[in-house]
Amino acid sequence: MKFLRNLLASILGSLVAFMIIVGMFFIFMALIGSMDDGVVVKENSVLEISFIAPILDYTGKDDTDPFAAFVGEELGLDEILHAIEVAKNDDNINGISITTGYLQAGLAQTREIRHALLDFKSTGKFVMSHSDVYAQKDYYLASVSDEVYLNPVGILDFKGLASEVLFYKGLQEKSGIKMEVIRHGKYKSAVEPYLSDTMSDENRMQIKELITSIWSIMVDDISESRNITPQNLNIIADTLGGRTPEYAVSSKLVDGVLHYDEYENLLKERMGLSENDELNYVELTDYVRKASQKKIRTGADKVAVIYAQGEIIGGEGGKDYIGQGLIIDALHKAVDNESIKAIVVRVNSPGGSALVSDIIWREMQLAKKEKPLVVSFGDVAASGGYYIGVASNKIVAEPTTITGSIGVFGTIPNIHELSQDIGINAEQVGTNQNSVDYSFFEPMTDTFRKVMQESVENTYATFLDRVSQGRNMSVEQVNEIAQGRVWSGVDAKALGLVDELGNLDDAIAIAADMAELQDYGIRKYPKYKSDFEEFMEDFGSMKSKIGESVIKEEVGSEAYEILKEFKRFTKQEGIQAKMPFSLKIQ
């Protein structure tokens, strides 16, 4: 008994000590959070932009979170655009230097940053760029600069866009693991890799037309900034006319080749400094913290901006995927808050669960009855992402937004052939004719396939009806441009799938105008879990994360992404309204 008493006392003592330490830690962090951010912007400073982490539309940081200063390099597009706008009117910021080497952002995000830099330049301040390596997206961003420079032995990639699709039919036949597929839409090629070893003509055509449209937008923007005709830019791309630093200069893609120290001397010259003077740099990550203290829109009336980003999976949701929980809660808060007069939903999603898409669609319909509701499409608004968008009063898309993909499919893993090869036999017993509807270990029955096909057709019909209502088109008109096909924002507008071409600020302005607001502020939703909460939750799965890190290190990042894509498909449940392919633009 004495031993048990001592053991219990030790446990209680440890718990009390742990609680005291945690409490002191929180007090310490709160004190840090209440202090000035420590970022000092001296006179004649240069804002240095170098994106080294993936960019989300929105990170959901809470300004009151004492851990926010320790987030690291992760930035939201909203924070980046706000910082550039604040810098435009900051007398201590003379100009911007872009030194990005590998921009991990979508094309619509890149275009929004590009427009913010154009607006920054309108005040007479400079924007300069230098890099050792320009991938195409990096160069697209850098081309907005007054002057663009490349390392004398650097690389500039300018050759046009391409898309690669991997096919797994042969792998399925060799492994005995296959995906049973039920779909609707001749362009719904998300499942094509499991049905064929080659690309269908329909898929090849839609990818070709999509990337051609996006490339044309990029070329037109670069043409305007660099004063090179679109025709000549395409000749440069066809002949790889920027493949060496010398060719890049002669083709006028860049203004010169400089080592970084020479580029810094050029910056000093632009600022009226001597070579011996020191440049005052302010890193973007630091300036974002400084800029967050300055509100540009401060009206008492508010426009709510609700971010829906990532694959539509269901559940609570987070900054990497869309669940109905956070989105519905945000819509309710926006409707119930009397100071909020209009709502903007920012959608950046390739789609996912058809059921969750419809749940969110319904809540947006209800919100629209109370307040004006405008949807802004980001990089992708396909399938389920487009589905929820049609519940709005008006849709605004970027010209490069991947839009539409009105179609559905269902996939179910099956290991019948593998189980036979390794000696597994599954027997089923049921009470009724269809009580055993499907087994991973048996071939799909005709009855089950028929039921699944019926479900897909019903979901597709519902999808058409939702679009028909939202876009004021007949079901027949929608069906003609649906079939799972994706379009660029430009083509989507011509087809009536969106109302306006523009960015998030344009969508906010439209929503404010609908609510007859002249002076207004912005309130962002949802707020995601704090970094400390995520750390505590992730602590238990640290072993899993270490394992993922080891796999990525061994097989390489590209192979690891393929494994993740295959894993996502095998975990999909229910009918999917999802983009017909994965598209990465480099």
Does the pLDDT value for residue 10 go beyond 70?
A: no
Calculate the average pLDDT of the chain: 86
Q: For 450-474, what is the mean pLDDT? A: 94
Comparing 66 with 42, which gets the higher pLDDT? Answer: 42
Mean pLDDT for 3-19 is 58
pLDDT grade for 343, boundaries at 50, 70 and 90: very high
| Integer CA distances (angstroms), 503 to 199, 375, 397, in order | 33, 10, 7
Domains 45-159+240-291 and 302-578 equal at CATH topology level:
yes
- What's the pLDDT score for residue 412? 87
On the question of pLDDT at 27 being above 50, the answer is no
pTM, two decimal places:
0.84
pLDDT at 33: 46
pLDDT at 350 over 80: yes
Most confident of 66-80, 321-335, 400-414, 438-452: 321-335
* Predicted pLDDT of residue 548: 53
Q: Does residue 568 or residue 476 have the better pLDDT?
A: 476
CATH 3.40.50.1820 corresponds to the domain 302-578: no
Residue matched to tokens 């607006």:
119
In this prediction, residue 495 has a pLDDT band, given cuts at 50, 70 and 90, of very high
pLDDT digits (tens, 9 = 90+) for 184-240: 766 666 788 888 899 988 889 999 999 999 999 999 999 999 999 999 999 999 999
How do residues 243-273 score in pLDDT, each as one tens digit?
999 999 999 999 999 999 999 999 999 999 9
SS3 of the chain: helix, strand, coil, percent, to 5: 45, 20, 35
Measure the CA–CA gap between 412 and 525, rounded to whole angstroms. 35
Instruction: Return the pLDDT at 180.
Output: 86
The conformational region for residue 229 under phi > 0 = left, psi -120 to 50 = alpha, else beta, is: beta
Q: Using the predicted structure, report yes or no on whether residue 152 has a pLDDT greater than 70.
A: yes
Return the pLDDT at 440: 85
Sequence spans of domains, the chain:
45-159+240-291, 302-578
Identify the CATH assignment for 45-159+240-291 out of 1.20.1440.130, 3.90.226.10, 3.30.1180.10, 1.10.10.1590: 3.90.226.10
Classified as helix, coil or strand, 390 is coil
284 band by pLDDT with thresholds 50, 70 and 90: very high
List of E strands, 79-124: 93-98
Residues 157-183 pLDDT 10s: 999 999 988 899 899 989 999 888 888
Q: Is the pLDDT of residue 470 over 90?
A: yes
- pLDDT(460) > 70: yes
Determine the pLDDT at residue 31. Answer: 45
pLDDT at position 35, please? 45
Structural contact between residues 211 and 163, judged by C-beta atoms closer than 8 angstroms? yes
* Residues near 357 by beta carbon (within 8 Å), at least 6 away in sequence: 312, 351, 383, 384, 387, 388, 577
